[in-house]
């Protein structure tokens, strides 16, 4: 014990870290900030270090070459002892990091922490959020599989929409004319050097400012932030009724960070690593690319925008969004912090959260995408066919072989781009169906040139049988008349 003390003294005489560390640890904080609501920032910081450590461990094996990356990931997954677990830790760590950063931001927003004098802390935080998302995207690219390849294609296509410089930016993004080796190399540099380096710097400044300016006090309705008085008020709050950061508040940070890391490990252990999915071979067109979870909402938004709105939205919305985030602390640097007195803030946060949730949910089952294999892989439910006439059966074959199923579900299986057809006969008459098939419309292609009359007849005859047993199919008023006149005519001609 004595020996250890000696060594400590020797080191301290040279490093002289004790003073600043003690200051940082023991600085007084408002007593009510020792709350579980204040643990997300430190958890994000911890996750950053988890990502750095697991990332370095993966970089020991990963080959950042377009030709080899995919195989090296499979070696990690299958041939190295617990390589799969480290990949899973890094992947789930990324998920948790994005989630914790977003929760941290929402909490800070709700608590009005961005107000005077912590504007710059917020601004750095916005950049840290963007860099976290950037890490998530570049990380998805390094998992160089089909999703990564086509995700880059989507990135390039979005970039290409920027007026004038779009084409040059695509070249810069891809490092050449197409997605290839140069692309992966530059995303590797971004993911491993550029962005993490900046993140460390920004995160350190962010924490530095939290220590220097003090943690935001628990907002009280009516306690209004004014530039002239705030610093004095905060000083009084911390020094008269405050408590030292360590251990009064810090123990919660420590426990929460540990819990988050444990949660990452459990997820990694139970759910395993992400992918890699199929080979990054552009000659494989039988692929259904999908972005990672945190970009699904963009994927959904892009599917639902009307074509004319798309380019302006893609290019302008992010700029406006970031500008709003950056401008927020300057626009509202004084005033109420409590959410009881900030209804607009509450509504905005709820709206954003709900929209994000809905778009993400939609994107998980992509109702706008055709199911590319439904036509050849999803059987027509036998109950629709068992007592069917031969023509109806042929209609069902036409329905499958002409890829109708790719967009129209039957029996709960198939694409969801178009309406489900299980009770189509009650909604459309035979004539309406024929018109719809031949001419398309309402976002359906026209099949007029590709379906000869007997195929249309068979198809529509099959569709006519799709109605619940207790609900008769819809019939055109005119059809009855045509049939009656036909009978009259034929009986007339027989005489």
Partner 1 sequence: MSYDVVMKNEQQEGEKLTVSRRWLLLYAGVAFNGLVGLALATPVIRYLLSPVKRDAAYKSWITLGPVADFPLGETRLATFINPFRKPWDGETAGVTCYVRRIAAAQFQVFAVNCAHLGCPVRWFPQSQLFMCPCHGGAYYADGARASGPPERGLFTYDYKISDGQLQIHAGQMPTLSNTAKLVTIGNVKGKSQCTG
Partner 2 sequence: MMPPPILVSAACVFILLLSGCNDAPGYPKTSAEVLRPQDQLSFDILYRQNCSACHGADGQNGAAIDLGNPEYQALVDDRSLRKWISGGMPGTQMPAFAISMGGTLTDSQIDAIVLGMRNTWSQRAVLGGRNAPPYAQDQKGDALRGKEQYNTDCASCHRASKQQVTSPDYLALVSDQALRSIIIAGRPDIGHPDWRGDKPGSPLSAQDVTDIVAYLGSSRSATPGQPYRRDR
Q: Give the residues lining the site for partner 1 (CB under 8 A).
A: 65-68, 70, 149-150, 153-154, 156-162, 166-168, 170-172, 174-184, 279-283, 285-289, 299, 302-303, 305, 307-308, 310, 368-370, 372, 375, 401-404, 406-407, 417, 440, 443-447, 449-450
User: Which residue from 297, 341, 288 is spatially nearest to 317, judged by alpha carbons?
Assistant: 297
Alpha helices (H) along 366-466: 374-377, 390-401, 424-427, 430-439, 453-464
Q: Name the minimum Å distance from CB 484 to partner 2.
A: 11
Is 263 a binding residue for partner 2 by CB under 8 A? The answer is no
Q: 443 is in the binding site of which of partner 1, partner 2, none (Cβ under 5 to 8 A by kind)?
A: partner 1
CA atoms within 13 A on the CB side of 246: 8
Element (H, E) at 137: helix 119-142
Q: Which among 334, 113, 346 is positioned nearest to 219, based on CA atoms? A: 113
Q: Which does 18 bind (CB under 5 to 8 A by kind): partner 1, partner 2, none?
A: none
Which one of partner 1, partner 2, none interacts with residue 58, CB within 5 to 8 A by kind? none
Footprint of partner 2 on 164-193 (CB under 8 A)? none
**Pick from partner 2, partner 1, none: which does 351 bind, CB < 5 to 8 A by kind?**
none
Region 303-342 residues binding partner 2, contact defined as CB under 8 A: none
Separation in Å, CA 311 to CA 87, 168, 203, 289: 36, 17, 33, 21
The pair of structure tokens assigned to 209 is 């400012």
* Chosen from partner 1, partner 2, none, partner binding at 175 (C-beta under 5 to 8 Å by type): partner 1
Cβ atoms within 10 Å, residue 97: 23
CB 40 within 8 A of CB 100: yes
Asked whether position 469 contacts partner 2 by CB under 8 A, the answer is: no
Binding residue count for partner 2, defined by CB under 8 A: 62
Scanning 149-157, 207-215, 420-428, 456-464 for contacts with partner 2 by CB under 8 A, the matching segment is 456-464
Spatial contact of 139 and 275, defined as CB atoms under 8 Å apart = no
Query: Per CB under 8 A, does 140 bind partner 2?
Result: no
Q: Considering beta carbons, is residue 223 or 402 the nearer one to partner 1?
A: 402
Output the smallest distance, CB 293 to partner 2, in A: 17
Distance, CA of 90 to CA of 47 (rounded, Å):
10
Our finding on whether 449 is near partner 2 (CB under 8 A) is no
Closer by beta carbon to partner 2, 109 or else 375: 375
Eight-state DSSP code of residue 242: -
* CB neighbours of residue 409 within 10 Å: 21
The answer to whether 31 and 245 are in contact (CB under 8 A) is: no
**Least distance from C-beta 437 to partner 2, angstroms?**
12
Identify the CA nearest to 144 among candidates 192, 187, 174. 187
437 binding partner 2? (CB under 8 A): no
Min separation Cβ 404 and partner 2, Å? 11
Residue 458 in the binding site for partner 2 (CB under 8 A): yes
Binding flag, residue 389, partner 2 (CB under 8 A):
yes
Q: Which does 20 bind (CB under 5 to 8 A by kind): partner 2, partner 1, none?
A: none
String of contacts with partner 2 for each residue 41-70, x by CB under 8 A: ------------------------------
Pick 22 or 161: Cβ nearer partner 1: 161
456 binds partner 2 (CB under 8 A): yes
Give phi and psi for 381, each to the nearest 5: -55, 130
Strand-pair partners of 299: none
Q: What is each CA distance from 135 to 151, 165, 386, 435, in whole angstroms?
A: 14, 24, 54, 50
Among 438, 435, 372, residue whose Cα is nearest residue 405: 372
Among 276, 291, 329, 415, binds partner 2 (CB under 8 A): 276
Applying CB under 8 A, among 16, 232, 286, 308 the residue interacting with partner 2 is 286
Report yes or no: 463 and 424 within 8 Å, Cβ to Cβ. Answer: yes
Name the burial class of residue 311, with classes exposed (0-12), middle (13-18) and buried (19+) by CB atoms within 10 angstroms of its CB: middle
* Residue 405, binding choice from partner 2, partner 1, none, Cβ under 5 to 8 Å by partner class: partner 2
376 lies in the site for partner 2, by CB under 8 A = yes
Q: Which does 168 bind (CB under 5 to 8 A by kind): partner 2, partner 1, none?
A: partner 1
Helix 83-110 to helix 343-365 angle (10° resolution) is: 150
Our finding on whether 486 is near partner 2 (CB under 8 A) is yes
Instruction: Decide: is 77 part of the binding site for partner 2 (CB under 8 A).
Output: yes
Nearest Cα to 103, choosing from 17, 168, 39, 178? 39
Contact yes or no for 173/165 (Cβ under 8 A): no
Contact set with partner 2 (CB under 8 A): 74, 77-78, 81-82, 84-85, 88, 145, 265, 268-273, 276-279, 281, 284, 286, 373-380, 382, 385-387, 389-391, 393-394, 396-401, 405, 430-431, 434, 452-458, 461, 479, 482-483, 486
């Amino acid at each position: 014990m004595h020996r250890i003390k000696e060594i400590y003294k020797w080191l301290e005489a040279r490093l002289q870290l004790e003073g600043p560390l003690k200051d940082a640890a023991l600085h007084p904080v408002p007593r009510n900030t020792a709350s579980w609501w204040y643990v997300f920032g430190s958890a994000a910081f911890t996750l950053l270090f988890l990502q750095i450590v697991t990332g370095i461990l993966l970089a020991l094996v990963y080959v950042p070459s377009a030709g080899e990356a995919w195989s090296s990931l499979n070696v990690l997954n299958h041939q190295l002892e617990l390589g799969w677990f480290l990949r899973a830790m890094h992947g789930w760590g990324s998920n948790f990091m994005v989630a914790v950063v977003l929760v941290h931001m929402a909490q800070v927003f709700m608590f009005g922490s961005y107000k005077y004098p912590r504007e710059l802390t917020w601004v750095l935080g916005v950049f840290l959020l963007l860099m976290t998302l950037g890490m998530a995207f570049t990380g998805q690219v390094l998992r160089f599989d089909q999703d990564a390849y086509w995700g880059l294609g989507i990135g390039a296509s979005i970039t290409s929409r920027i007026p004038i410089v779009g084409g040059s930016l695509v070249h810069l993004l891809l490092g050449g004319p197409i997605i290839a080796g140069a692309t992966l190399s530059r995303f590797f540099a971004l993911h491993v050097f550029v962005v993490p380096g900046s993140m460390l710097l920004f995160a350190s400044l962010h924490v530095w400012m939290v220590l220097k300016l003090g943690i935001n006090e628990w907002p009280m309705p009516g306690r209004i932030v004014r530039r002239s008085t705030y610093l004095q008020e905060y000083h009084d709050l911390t020094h008269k009724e405050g408590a030292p950061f360590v251990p009064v508040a810090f123990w919660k940070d420590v426990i929460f960070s540990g819990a988050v890391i444990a949660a990452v490990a459990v997820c990694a252990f139970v759910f395993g690593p992400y992918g890699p999915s199929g080979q990054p071979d552009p000659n494989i067109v039988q692929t259904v690319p999908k972005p990672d979870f945190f970009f699904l909402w963009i994927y959904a938004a892009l599917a639902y925008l009307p074509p004319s709105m798309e380019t302006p939205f893609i290019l302008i919305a992010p700029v406006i969004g970031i500008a709003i985030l950056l401008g927020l602390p300057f626009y509202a640097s004084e005033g109420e912090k409590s959410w009881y007195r900030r209804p607009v803030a509450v509504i905005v946060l709820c709206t954003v959260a709900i929209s994000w949730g809905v778009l993400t949910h939609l994107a998980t089952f992509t109702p706008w995408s055709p199911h590319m294999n439904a036509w050849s892989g999803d059987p027509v439910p036998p109950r629709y066919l068992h007592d069917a006439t031969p023509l109806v059966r042929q209609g069902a074959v036409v329905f499958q072989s002409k890829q109708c199923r790719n967009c129209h579900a039957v029996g709960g299986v198939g694409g969801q781009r178009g309406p489900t057809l299980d009770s189509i006969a009650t909604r459309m008459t035979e004539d309406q169906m024929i018109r719809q098939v031949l001419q398309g419309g309402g976002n359906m292609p026209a099949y007029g040139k590709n379906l000869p009359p007997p195929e249309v007849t068979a198809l529509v005859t099959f569709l006519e049988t799709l109605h619940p047993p207790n609900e008769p199919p819809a019939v055109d008023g005119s059809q009855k008349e045509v049939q009656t006149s036909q009978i009259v005519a034929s009986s007339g001609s027989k005489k």
